Amino acid sequence: MKKSLSYVRIGYLIFLVVFITSCEGQLKVPEENQETSEPPINSITPKDLQIADYVRNILQDKDGHLWFGTNGYGVAHYDGKRVSYYSVNESFHGQQITGMTEDSVHNLWFATDQGVVKYPWAINSNQSKKQFTNFTDPQYFGGQRCWSIHADRKGYIWAGAETGIFRFDGLQWSPFKLPYPEEINGDFITSGTSWCITEDKAGNIWFSTNGYGAFKFDGQSFTQYTQTDGLADNSVDVILEDSKGNMWFGTRFGGISRYDGTSFTNYTEQDSIGNNEVCEIYEDREGNIWLSSEGYGVYRYHGGAFTNYSQEQGLGVRAVQAIYEDREGRLWVGGGGGLYRIDGPTFINVTRNGPWH
């Protein structure tokens, strides 16, 4: 089994500076604005008709509604007719949305700059006014912001906070410690920060880390994967299992790695993609792997080759953080520059006024 524990790179302080303008940073507190698309009263909304100047996450719920995590405006909700915004003015405790997940009974969970927010679908599905449950008091995470969230098939909710992992069993949140070689201390982001928590088909829970590679938890023990084992980089931003059982790892400094259960294959800016910072990976229903590459829009991996989609194809987002295919087969991309949808060979910008179809 994999064994070596890696240490945080010497240049970590430099990384903190770079981080502010990369995949997971960029928190802007917007000014209130009067130009809206009929949002809730007193809602904080963008100055123009873009969904947001920075769309971080995309999710479609049981009813087919689309939710967009933003950087400073809370969560935006498109119900098929209009876009509404929920943030501090609507008792949704969070302006920066860093993760979204849906549990087995269709509740939505949001990781935010203030902690975790739950949207109970069963209570709210037939109500015009949304009611949120906020786990944002310092008693839950010690006042830490959260960077990732995942609902597993057993009913646990996992949240990655600044200094480590927390797990919710339906009654309370408890710290869940990964086997780091040292105590994690810090603020905002640390070597214990997990940008991604996900589950594979076998029920293993995977955790990305900021300097320690990736961990797999089988319910009893951990397996760690680092550069020593062939991983491209020890700062992992995102993890995905594809339909063939391969695990994909997007890293901050080393490009993307594919693990087939035996060995790693790495794709970097030297041979395949434009930039080694990869913070989003997504598989569509046809088996294509889509990934971000900082400053280069998105790439589609198909048949062993990469195809780039960027400004020439109409994609006005070069720093991509969200890739999502909805149940209608529409592929959405979000990031610094707003929201886009693929339309044939090109991308089109989708604002609060559409076009949605």
- Contact present, 324 and 68 (Cβ < 8 Å): no
For 106-120, the pLDDT digits (tens) are 999 999 999 999 999
H-type alpha helices, 200-307: none
Model confidence at 41, in pLDDT bands (50, 70, 90)? very low
Determine, yes or no, domain membership for 1: no
Beta bridge partners, 86, equal 75
* Residue in the structure block whose two tokens are 């790439």: 299
Dist CA 228 CA 220 (whole Å): 23
Q: Judge whether 258 lies within some domain.
A: yes
Structural domain includes residue 208: yes
Contact 170, 154 (CB under 8 A): no
Q: What is the pTM of this model?
A: 0.88
- Residue 28: pLDDT above 50? no
CA–CA dist 231, 255 (Å, integer): 10
Residue positions counted in the chain? 357
Residue 356 covered by a domain = no
Amino acid, res. 97:
I
How far does the chain reach from its first CA to its final CA, in angstroms?
48
Distance (Å, whole) CA 77 – CA 69:
9
Mean pLDDT for the stretch of residues 269-295: 97
The 10s digit of each residue's pLDDT in 254-268 is: 999 999 999 999 999
Which residue segment(s) compose the domain that 199 sits in? 12-350
Whether 126 contacts 179, CB under 8 Å: no
- d(Cα 19, Cα 22) in Å, to the nearest integer? 5
Q: Is residue 50 part of a domain?
A: yes
CATH number of the domain enclosing 168: 2.130.10.10
- The answer to whether position 16 is within a domain reads yes
Mean pLDDT of all residues in the chain?
88
129-163 pLDDT, tens digit per residue, is: 679 999 999 999 999 999 999 999 999 999 999 99
* Domain presence at residue 4: no
Nearest C-alpha neighbor of 161 from the set 133, 179, 134, 184: 184
* pLDDT at res. 21: 42
* Residue 7, in any domain of the structure: no
Q: Average of pLDDT values for 41-61? A: 87
CA count, 13 A, side-chain hemisphere, 321: 31
DSSP-assigned letters across all residues of 341-356: EEETTEEEEEBTTB--
95, pLDDT greater than 90: yes
Q: What sign results for the dihedral spanned by CA atoms 307, 311, 313, 314?
A: positive
* Predicted pLDDT at 188: 77
What is the number of structural domains in the chain? 1
